[in-house]
Amino acid sequence: MPFTTRRASLFILCGSLLMAAGCSRSWETAYTPLEGAADSYKLAGVSVIVPQSLTVSESETSYVPKADIVWVEEPAGDRRAQVARIYEEGVRAGASGLRGSTPVTIEVTVQKFHALNMKSRYNAPQGTGVYDIVFTARILDAASGAELVPTQQILANAPARTGDAALAEEAAGITQRSTNVAQIAATVAGWLGVGPDNRTTFRRLGG
């Protein structure tokens, strides 16, 4: 393809992304760290709620589908159930360092899980793309069900890789799924105080 044609195609592509997602904006991984959770609690279970009110999109016609759940990397099926498993794996891994004596259940309610569709994953310009992950979490006494830590909203947004960078990730065995499980795990670990504080902000086009 001639250089001028490639340039024109990239300009059109970027224009489409800008119209779909707006200008580059600020994103964050954010939570209020819990004091004393690491030494007080031990994990007995994880409960993940994916409200039926959340919208789901498998569209490949837009770089940034407008929906609460965008998830197409796994085979066709119940996307809410697939997302619930991603969250459960991430929360279990993140809370695995709890070393206290009180058995607890961490209850998570999904508010958003917006990964990349294949259109964005492979065709969006490098330096764009966001994993938009938002949920609430609370801690319950596993025996009585009493609330020990009230509901807190947690943002686990992270940059996503697209184009050649995405292909390089996949060649190394790194999938969107493994990336998002790891991001949820790191965020929960930071929230509970059993891992590094991974709160951060970044600017990026996507989401």
pLDDT tens for the 207 residues of the chain, in order: 444 444 434 444 444 444 444 467 999 999 999 999 999 999 999 999 999 999 999 999 999 999 999 999 999 999 999 999 999 999 999 999 999 999 999 999 999 999 999 999 999 998 899 999 999 999 999 999 999 999 999 999 999 999 999 999 999 999 999 999 999 999 999 999 999 999 999 999 987
pTM of the model: 0.89
pLDDT at residue 111, rounded to an integer: 98
Kindly state the DSSP code that residue 144 receives in the 8-state scheme. T
Residue 187 · residue 134 · CB < 8 Å: no
Residue 93 · residue 192 · CB < 8 Å: no
Please name the residue that has the structure tokens 């949820």.
Answer: 184
pLDDT at residue 206, rounded to an integer: 85
As a whole number of angstroms, the distance between CA 8 and CA 14 comes to: 10
Kindly state the DSSP code that residue 34 receives in the 8-state scheme. P
Helix/strand/coil for 195: coil
As a whole number of angstroms, the distance between CA 185 and CA 163 comes to: 26
Query: Which phi and psi (to 5°) does residue 106 adopt?
Result: -95, 120
Tell me the CATH architecture of domain 3-204. 3-Layer(aba) Sandwich (3.40)
As a whole number of angstroms, the distance between CA 52 and CA 7 comes to: 43
